[in-house]
């Protein structure tokens, strides 16, 4: 008798980590199901070589076909449906993050888009107030279900289809096909800010598993999920942090990057490069270190953001400026994320030892409210969110900029501040003060960090992967 099968869509590097580099896959296989992993077509052989084992089948996700359908079949309608799903969640929860993206669209859209924006804003206002309108939007999009995956469904006959988003990306076409065939669907929340930054699903999805009670509330109140269909399973990708399975020794890590063991380590992880430059934050820190203006001799290790590698972008140009700065100043070093390849980009499981070690061995960790504030709190290191504004932002015609000082009320950012899990610095002098505070008082805010982690990720014993897989098995 053939085992039941589960389709898993891993259309992002972090999804590969979530499903393949945690206890999720082993628990599913031990539970007696076969897993058909759908991922970037160009990486099928690579992933099969690395993760191949009995019970795991790797197939292409056919992203090129999905993109072609999106771009050639009622493209304008599909485009605005996607935008309305993104912006149109209920106003019962904090909408500040979505409001920022709405302002960006108003500024950056085409001339025709600007003419449509009053209607889009009006539709968004209706959606935020009406659950009936939101349900109608989710159901309406089912008419855009291409014949991309029919042969895979016929070949494998899955009992459950699992995606790493509820159809926020091109996985919507896979989920819609499953719905049309009457197959149970589920999704996993991979990102910390996903439930507050993206809202309505791209297909009618049956079940969802998330990190915490906080995310569950965001899903229920903001996106109309039924509470009994929302599972709290923690975040499997962080189990390795709690187990310290990726962490290098301090000596090994310092040798890897040519760091001075006699100097304190400041680690800065670039983030939020879409709306505002990171460069002022980086330059301020680099000069504090190079000019020895801190309480102890220090060095700076800068981590670029995956978006810094988008060819021809403003972010790529910023990365070049950072590389130039690193070459000019003493005690300033650079680490660049390792790409998985294909369309899965620079969010890669190849990078987990680097990330974990960077956080574990930093005397002070600095970023801009990124998800790494949660990850660093797990490593119990002091955290500073650096939000130095650039006059005029990107100073590029047609490019929207949002001052970093304006994002403090975004849902995840607000929770970080309210938890007291770290400090916030809005100018170079505040950066110096915050860094010196933690250099001289490294145990400050430790209890606040611990409580922050417990609220945000729920399970701190390395069991999230097993719990999540057991939930998915219960749906088969």
Per-residue pLDDT tens for 375-393?
A: 999 999 999 999 999 888 9
pLDDT the model gives residue 158: 98
Query: Quick one: three-class SS letters along 15-84?
Result: HHHHHHCCCHHHHHHHCCCEEEEEECHHHHHHHHHHHCCCCEEEEECCHHHHHHHHHHCCHHHHHHHHHH
> DSSP 3-state assignment of 385?
strand
CA nearest to 417, candidates 432, 405, 427: 405
The Cα angle at residue 159 between residues 55 and 231, in degrees rounded to 5: 95
**How remote is the C-alpha of 27 from its chain's centroid?**
24
Residue bearing tokens 């670029």? 304
pLDDT (average), residues 193-214: 96
Whether residue 1 has pLDDT greater than 50: no
Band (pLDDT 50/70/90 cuts) for residue 341 is low
CB 399 within 8 A of CB 315: no
What DSSP state is assigned to residue 427? S
**What pLDDT was estimated at residue 273?**
74
Residue 274: what pLDDT?
84
Which has the higher per-residue pLDDT, 309 or 446? 446
Q: Cα 445 to chain center, whole Å?
A: 25
Residue 129 has pLDDT above 70, yes or no: yes
Summarised one tens digit per residue, pLDDT across range 75-99 is 999 999 999 999 999 999 999 999 9
C-alpha to C-alpha distance for 46 and 60, rounded to whole angstroms: 12
Over the stretch 106-121, which tens digit does the pLDDT of each residue have? 999 999 999 999 999 9
The rounded percent of the chain whose pLDDT value lies above 70 is 97
Could you tell me the two tokens for 324?
């130039």
pLDDT score of 74: 97
Mean pLDDT of the chain: 95
Q: What angle do CA 91, 93, 96 make, to 5 degrees?
A: 80
Domains 5-66+142-234+462-475 and 242-457 share a fold: yes
Cα 358 from Cα 172, distance rounded (Å):
35
Strands (E), 71-193: 160-163, 184-188
Instruction: Using alpha carbons only, give the angle 343, 344, 350 rounded to the nearest 5 degrees.
Output: 140
Does residue 309 register a pLDDT over 80? yes
pLDDT of 232 strictly over 60: yes
3-state secondary structure of 177: helix
CA distance 80 to 106: 13
Find the mean pLDDT for residues 242-271: 97
Query: In which residue are the tokens 């290790």 written?
Result: 301
Q: Is the pLDDT of residue 187 over 50?
A: yes
pLDDT at residue 13, rounded to an integer: 87
Neighbours of 457 (CB within 10 A): 25
- Which pLDDT score is estimated for 347? 60
Structure confidence at residue 351 (pLDDT): 86
pLDDT of residue 47: 93
Q: What dotted CATH number matches 242-457? A: 3.40.50.2000
Fold classification of 5-66+142-234+462-475 (topology level) = Rossmann fold (3.40.50)
How far apart CA 147 and CA 221 sit, in angstroms, is 33
Between CA 58 and CA 38 the distance in angstroms is 6
For 12-45, write each residue's pLDDT tens digit: 889 999 999 999 999 999 999 999 999 999 999 9
Mean pLDDT of 386-404: 92
Q: How far is CA 211 from the centre of its chain?
A: 13
Is residue 193 over pLDDT 70? yes
Identify the CA nearest to 120 among candidates 106, 100, 107. Answer: 106
Distance CA 100, CA 274 (A): 11
φ/ψ of residue 162, rounded to 5? -115, 130
For the chain, the domains span: 5-66+142-234+462-475, 75-137, 242-457
Tens of pLDDT, residues 277-294: 999 999 999 999 999 999
Q: Which residues contact 444 (CB under 8 A, 6 or more apart)?
A: 382, 437, 438
355 pLDDT exceeds 70?
Answer: yes
Rounded to 5, what percent of the chain is helix, strand, coil? 50, 15, 35
Q: Tell me, rounded to whole angstroms, the distance of Cα 465 from its chain centroid.
A: 18
Question: Which single residue is written with the structure tokens 């919507």?
Answer: 172
């Amino acid at each position: 008798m053939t085992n039941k099968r589960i389709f898993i869509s891993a259309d992002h590097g972090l999804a590969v980590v979530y499903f393949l580099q945690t206890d999720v896959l082993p628990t599913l296989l031990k539970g007696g199901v076969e897993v058909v992993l759908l991922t970037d077509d160009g990486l099928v052989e690579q992933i099969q070589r690395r993760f191949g084992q009995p019970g795991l089948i790797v197939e292409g996700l056919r992203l090129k076909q999905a993109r072609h359908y999106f771009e050639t079949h009622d493209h304008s309608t599909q485009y605005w449906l996607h935008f309305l799903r993104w912006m149109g969640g209920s106003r019962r929860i904090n909408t500040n993050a979505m409001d920022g993206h709405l302002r960006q669209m108003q500024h950056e859209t085409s001339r025709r888009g600007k003419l449509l924006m009053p209607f889009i804003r009006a539709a968004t206002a209706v959606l935020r107030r009406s659950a009936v309108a939101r349900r109608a939007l989710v159901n309406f999009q089912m008419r855009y279900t291409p014949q991309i995956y029919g042969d895979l469904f016929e070949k494998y006959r899955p009992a459950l289809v699992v995606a790493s988003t509820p159809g926020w990306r091109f996985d919507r076409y896979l989920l819609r096909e499953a719905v049309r065939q009457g197959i149970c669907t589920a999704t996993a929340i991979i990102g910390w800010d996903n439930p507050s930054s993206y809202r309505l699903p791209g297909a009618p999805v049956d079940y969802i598993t998330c990190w915490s009670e906080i995310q569950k509330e965001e899903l229920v109140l903001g996106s109309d999920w039924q509470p009994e269909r929302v599972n709290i399973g923690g975040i499997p990708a962080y189990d390795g942090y709690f187990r310290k399975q990726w962490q290098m020794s301090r000596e090994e890590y310092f040798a890897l990057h040519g760091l001075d063991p006699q100097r304190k380590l400041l680690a800065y992880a670039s983030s939020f490069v879409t709306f505002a430059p990171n460069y002022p934050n980086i330059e301020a820190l680099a000069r504090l270190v190079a000019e020895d203006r801190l309480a102890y001799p220090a060095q700076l290790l800068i981590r670029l953001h995956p978006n810094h590698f988008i060819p021809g972008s403003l972010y790529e140009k910023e990365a070049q400026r950072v590389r130039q700065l690193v070459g000019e100043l003493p005690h300033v070093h650079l680490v660049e994320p390792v790409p998985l390849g294909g369309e899965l980009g620079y969010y890669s499981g190849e990078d987990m030892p680097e990330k974990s070690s960077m956080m574990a061995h930093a005397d002070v960790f600095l970023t801009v409210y990124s998800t790494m504030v949660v990850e660093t709190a797990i490593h119990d290191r002091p955290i500073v969110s650096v939000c130095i504004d650039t006059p005029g932002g990107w100073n590029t015609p047609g490019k929207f900029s949002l001052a970093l000082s304006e994002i403090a009320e975004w849902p995840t950012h607000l929770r970080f501040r309210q938890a007291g899990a770290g400090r916030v610095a809005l100018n170079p002098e505040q950066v110096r003060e915050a860094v010196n505070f933690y250099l001289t008082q490294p145990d400050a805010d430790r209890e606040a960090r611990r409580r922050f982690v417990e609220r945000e990720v729920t399970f701190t014993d390395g069991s999230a992967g097993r719990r999540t897989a057991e939930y998915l098995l219960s749906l088969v």
